[in-house]
Amino acid sequence: MEEQTECWQLRSGTWYRDPKSESWRLATTSNGTVANAKLSTQDVGRMIRANRDTSSGQWFPSDFNYSPQTGTRLHVSITCLDSPWVPPFGASALSDITSPLARGLRQTPARLTLARSNGRSDPASDADRTLPALPPGQYRFLVHKFDVASPTLMAIESERGNLLVLLPESKSWIPLERPTGGILAEGLKNSRGWRMEVVEGARCATLYFPTASGLAAVTPTLIGLSYAIEYFGEGLALGGPVAWAGEVWLPVLGEKGVVNLIGKPRGAAKPIVLPTSAPAPKKGFEAPVFDPLHVIWPSEEGQLIVRLDRNGKKESDWIAWPDGLRPTFLLGCPYLSRSGSFWQLCWRGQNESLKYVQMGKLRPERAAIDAPRLGTGHISYKKEQRIEGDPWWEPEQVFDGASSEVVVPLIESELERAVVGLRIDAPQGVLALLESDKERHRAVLQLQAENRADVLFGTLSVTRPWLTSLFVYDAHLWVYHPELSQALGWKLES
């Protein structure tokens, strides 16, 4: 008579044991989630931090401290200890939906210090690691534990609504599917305006996306290789969502071509609809900036604002740009001054001169500059010269100006003001560079920080290299561009 598979009810979930091979397989987690059959025992073990016998390679439920076969002490399978990384610029996941700080800039709280800080300039093939290739698409990368125990990497292809996760042991990408079928509604057409929020729960995370069907609240279940989704707003999303003042807010297209603001409280509460007088911008909104007092979604036509009045009630406002000025969004995100004001770079006339304009004000202050600045929120660059503080001041160190190189900053760490950017030769100037859509450019990756020597650590040869995105996963800084076959990774200091 053949031995039957044993069913074990443990604190970590329901497990099946094969008496012949003495192997264990997770059937359901402690909360009843069925483990997807596509997942290998090894991938499940890594995800849930199961215990492992290093001598035999056998995996056991995390309830066991010693091998039932040999009596040897088991080891916890820890993959990595990464903090969450929320795209597009590495913001933190939120434990609630009240934002205590200014957010929305090209800034991350992650430390960006390369382990190999020797100042070498090497080709991209000199990366320490690569990730498996993804199907063609425009991806953004999210790192979170979701419903498992180890930080896991998710690739988000918002234009087609695809979510893929990297299996930690198999080292392969696998898509998440909705139990009821269908896909996530496609996202924004204005890719610069795309952003998302991640709000943490006790054993899950809710991801908030802008979609063609409004605000999408997505709850992934990695063990089940699936996700649940709800839509709120019943209208085309016009900008990225913001977790602010107790709700997640999103501008959507309302009736008669005006914008409605949708506020979704946490939990089962119904969304709030806040009508506005703002005309729907033709190209949608750019990425919002916000602080505890207000949120600003900028567009070519003006600024949509939601703020708290003296009684703590939310109210909306629409402010057109001052006469004769029009914003330029190609040069990076707004600047956040030490006094707490956001400033947007604008053209006066038909590209006659550039001015920074205070945002969210009916009578804004202005500051003229003599040449374009590219910025991350606190740090700006005039050609290749770094400016800390107000970008309308001249750099402390003035170069002779003979170099045609410019630095395009990609992201700034709040620690040591470390900026990862691209050094690119631009003999016709930065504006001509950013308008060249089809020409391939050689771009050298640069890490520049306070009190440290600059580090040149890789080279890309792609069109529109400023579309390069960065993320931190498994103690590496990863560099991704849609034209690269794989993401390239450089090890970070532990």
Give me the pLDDT at residue 321, please.
Answer: 96
- Cβ-based neighbours of 156, under 8 Å, separated by 6 or more: 87, 139, 140, 141, 142, 162, 163, 196, 209
Handedness of CA 145, 147, 153, 155 (dihedral sign): negative
Which amino acid makes up residue 366?
R
Longest dimension (CA), the chain: 89
Give me the pLDDT at residue 350, please.
Answer: 78
**Domains annotated on the chain, with CATH:** 6-76 (no CATH), 107-491 (2.130.10)
Give me the pLDDT at residue 208, please.
Answer: 96
* pLDDT beneath 50: ranges in the chain: 1-2, 119, 121, 123-124
- Segment 448-462, tens digit of pLDDT: 998 888 999 999 999
CA distance 173 to 165: 6
Give me the pLDDT at residue 123, please.
Answer: 46
Give me the pLDDT at residue 415, please.
Answer: 84
- Segment 235-247, tens digit of pLDDT: 999 999 999 999 9
DSSP strand pairing (107-108 vs 405-413): parallel
The tokens describing 167, both together, are 């299996």
Strand arrangement of the beta sheet that strand 272-279 belongs to = 242-244, 247-253, 258-265, 272-279
Give me the pLDDT at residue 1, please.
Answer: 36
